[in-house]
Structures are given as C-alpha cells and as structure tokens.
Amino acid sequence: MSALPGRTQVGIVGGGPAGLLLAHLLHRRGVASVILERRSRAHVEGRIRAGVLEQGTVDLLAASGLGARMAREGLVHGGIEVAIDGVRRRLDLAALTGRRVTVYGQTEVTKDLVEARLAAGGAIVYEAEDVSVHGFDGERPTVRWRTAAGEAELACDFIAGCDGFHGVCRRSVPADRIRTYERVYPFGWLGILSDTPPVSDELIYASHERGFALASMRSPTRSRYYIQCDLDADLADWPDERVWDELKLRLGPEAAATIRTGPSIEKSVAPLRSFVAEPMRFGRLFLAGDAAHIVPPTGAKGLNLAVADVKVLSEALAEFFATGSEEGIDRYSERALRRVWRAQRFSWWFSAQLHRYDGADGFARRLQLTELDYLTGSEPAARAFAENYVGLPFD
Ligand code: APR
Ligand code: PHB
C-alpha cells in the first residue's frame, strides 16, 4: 500500500467488526486511523458468525451511514420462541420493551464496514504479519509489522487493540497489570448453514433433555441451525441427516413436522467461553471487542458488545483530539466493563438454563425447567429477560 502514512492518530490492530467500526466512527469525527489486519480481506469477509443485532446496534449503524443494505435485507424480529422439551412458547420482545432485534449476519455488517472504509479512502493493511505494539506507556506508541514488501512501522497517538481473543494486544500487556476472569463450558455448538427456508419466522431457543438447539436464519431462504455437541465432536460423525434428526428431536414435534431440510453449505463446531480482561485501557493502548471479552453465543451478545465498546471509545478519542480533555479516555474502561459484565451475566444465565450438563441430576434439570417456565410465564420475568435480549440502553 503505497499511500500508507508513517504516522496516524489511532493505530487499529484488527480489521474485524470492532476495528472497522472504530475506524468508521473516528473518521466521521475527523480522526484519522490505519487498520492492520493479519488475514486477507476475503477471509475476514467470509467468516460466519452470529447474526442478531440489538436495536441500539442497528440505530448506531444507521445513524453513521451504514444502514441502507441492513434496512433492505435485515429481518426485524419482535419476538423469540423458547422450546422447553419440545413445547414452544413465545416471548413478545416488542410488547415487553418497545424494542426489536434485527437478524443481519455479522458477515454482512463486516462487508458494509469494509465498503464504507474503502469508499472513504481509509487505509486497511491486510495480511500484516507479526504485528507488535510498543511504547504505549509513553506519548508516542508505535505499531510494527511485516508484509511481503518488508518491515513497516506506524507512529500513533493511540493504539486500539481490536484483534480478537487470540490477538497480540492483550498479550502485550505485562501480566501484573491485567486481570482475567474466565468460564469454559464442557460442550460446543455444531452449526450448519443451509439454503432452506427457516422453520419459523422467529428464532427458537430449545432446551431439551438431549441438549440445546437453536433455529436461526440469515434470510427468508437461508437457515442457520445449531445443536449442542461434545467439545471433541468430529464432523465426520455428523452427516447432515444426523444433524437434521437431532434438530427435529430437540426443537420438538411441531418444528419437526414443518422443518425444511437440505444439504448444509457450512458446518463447524465452536467452543463456548465466558472471558473478561480488566481493565480495558493501559496507557495509550485500549482493548475493544473480543480482544477484551468473550461471551458464549447464547443470546448473540458478542458483536453487540464490540459495537458498544467502540461507540464509547470513538467518542472518548474524538473528545480528546477536539478539546484535549482526557475525561472520556479515563472513563472508557469503567464504562465499557459495566456493560460487558451485564452481558456476561445474561449470556451465562441463558446458557446455563438451555444446555445439558453431563452429570447434572434430576434436581438441576427441574430447576432449569422451572427457570424457563417462569421466564415464559411471568410478565416481569419475561420483561427483565427481554430488555437484556434487545440490548440495555447505552448509559
Ligand atoms: N494482528 C493483526 N490482526 C489480528 C491479529 C494480529 N496479531 N490477531 C487477530 N487479528 C485480527 C483477526 O484476523 C480478526 O480479523 O483481528 C480481527 C478480530 O476480529 P473479531 O475476532 O471478529 O473480533 P471483533 O472485531 O472484536 O468482533 C466482535 O464479537 O463474539 C464476537 O462473533 C463476534 O467476532 C465478533 C466479535
Ligand atoms: C445465529 O444466527 O448465528 C445466532 C443467533 C442467535 C444466537 C446465536 C447465534 O443467540
């Protein structure tokens, strides 16, 4: 990339949704940035991730000029269903909260962000190898990397670590300055994508004695399904027929009677993890998105949390560059973490109710069923759940 400057205001490590949206929001406030991404553009745009956007996420994307295709192609959902041992009950999110969610794949959000970035003439360096961050305790941090053309260095005022859970930024912080909290779950999700119409107009989250299942979608003609599986599940043991049979059992007889099956066009197993790193700021290095926290996918909070982080961070950085005030950047970590822990609580709770835990006894299963019965039978319980599912307001 010949036009790459040797210095910028914000060096952004990672070109996933967090890094791309941060660059976009900064650009709209007149702050320059450069994105360094380890993978290729095709790889980043091809990754399949969750697909439910909170209303606040949708509103933010729309207000920053990213809403056109989402408004055309996104599916607005006013409710979800919970299937409890095959019996479906609906939670009317719109009636309970006045808010809705939008089903629009993260893959699509990412494509829209890349397009906006390139249209604005912004720099994204793809296939940047061996990225490293330096000097973030001083006033002049730098980012270094290697490309096919050789070594490169970028001087920055700030560095944003948007490089995901396995990135380099969090690992660059001395161990005595960072604290991490973690839960790993003793199961994974096996996901399939298929060009078949969704089984229902809304998502179905299923708790079944055989394990969790989720019926989701990407469009009126493309479905996304998940089933709880062993962590070491081998895809060779899961031909499509077996996945469909298992889905029919777990989603219940009504769904089994109407589900449209077909060949999978993608199939993969993902582990579940809850993780938080504190704080999210170290001098002139900020962490945002998966670099700082991971939630299990139950409830689809991951992307929404990344969006909330970069909203707060972009405002803080813009304020600093406009006025010299450090108040926003000083408060970033605390503000972001408050929301992060709320989402952790919600995602952990929802995961705990829906999954089958090996070794759990009858008492534990009865409690799960009672939680779900209460959730779907009590308006206050449903409302408390719904306000989290559609997304708590930005504070
Ligand atoms: N150098 C440069 N880039 C890196 C490095 C590195 N050392 N390590 C990782 N990256 C890149 C990855 O290739 C990826 O494109 O950083 C990006 C991080 O993107 P995501 O993993 O998508 O994380 P984030 O942008 O925080 O997105 C929020 O929440 O739960 C999730 O699924 C949701 O991925 C979504 C995320
Ligand atoms: C998805 O469609 O991929 C999806 C939807 C809802 C979730 C998780 C994943 O809670």
pLDDT in tens, 279-317: 999 999 999 999 999 999 999 999 999 999 999 999 999
* Ligand 2 centroid – CA 265 distance (Å): 17
- CA–CA distance, 25 with 318 (Å, rounded to integer): 9
Q: What does the pLDDT read at residue 148?
A: 85
- Six-digit token string for 3: 């036009």
- CA–CA distance, 291 with 372 (Å, rounded to integer): 32
Nearest ligand, measured from the Cα of 203: 2
> Of how many residues is the chain composed?
395
Q: What does the pLDDT read at residue 188?
A: 98
Q: Give 176: exposed, middle or buried? Use CB within 10 Å, 0-12, 13-18, 19+.
A: exposed
Phi and psi for 356 in degrees, rounded to 5? -90, 125
Q: Is the CB of 37 under 6 A from ligand 1?
A: yes
| Regions of the chain where pLDDT drops below 70 | 1-3
Class of domain 7-81+105-182+273-350: alpha beta
Which residue's CA lies nearest to atom 6 of ligand 2? 300
Nearest ligand, measured from the Cα of 113: 1
Q: Give 42: exposed, middle or buried? Use CB within 10 Å, 0-12, 13-18, 19+.
A: exposed
Q: Is 160:12 a contact under the CB 8 Å cutoff? A: yes
Q: What does the pLDDT read at residue 2?
A: 46
Which residue's CA lies nearest to atom 30 of ligand 1? 302
Q: Is the CB of 131 under 6 A from ligand 1?
A: yes
Nearest ligand, measured from the Cα of 193: 2
Partnered with residue 190 across adjacent β-strands are 227, 269
- CA–CA distance, 218 with 50 (Å, rounded to integer): 9
* Ligand 2 centroid – CA 135 distance (Å): 39
User: Which atom of ligand 2 is least distant from the CA of 298?
Assistant: 10
Q: Is 205 labeled as catalytic in the residue annotation?
A: yes
User: Which atom of ligand 1 is least distant from the CA of 47?
Assistant: 22
Matching CATH number, 185-272+355-390, of 3.30.9.10, 3.40.50.2300, 3.40.109.10, 3.40.50.300:
3.30.9.10
Partnered with residue 180 across adjacent β-strands are 277
* Ligand 2 centroid – CA 51 distance (Å): 5
State the span(s) of the chain assigned CATH 3.50.50.60. Answer: 7-81+105-182+273-350
Q: Is 301 labeled as catalytic in the residue annotation?
A: yes
Q: Is the CB of 303 under 6 A from ligand 1?
A: yes
User: Which atom of ligand 1 is least distant from the CA of 288?
Assistant: 26
Q: Is 389 labeled as catalytic in the residue annotation?
A: yes
- CA–CA distance, 244 with 53 (Å, rounded to integer): 26
Mutation test of ligand 2: which of 189, 214, 265, 354 has the most ligand atoms closer than 8 Å to its C-beta? 214
Q: Is 134 labeled as catalytic in the residue annotation?
A: no
Closest to 82 (Cα-Cα) out of 389, 311, 290: 389
Q: What does the pLDDT read at residue 395?
A: 77
Q: Is 111 labeled as catalytic in the residue annotation?
A: no
Mutation test of ligand 1: which of 12, 20, 38 has the most ligand atoms closer than 8 Å to its C-beta? 38
Nearest ligand, measured from the Cα of 171: 1
State the span(s) of the chain assigned CATH 3.30.9.10. Answer: 185-272+355-390
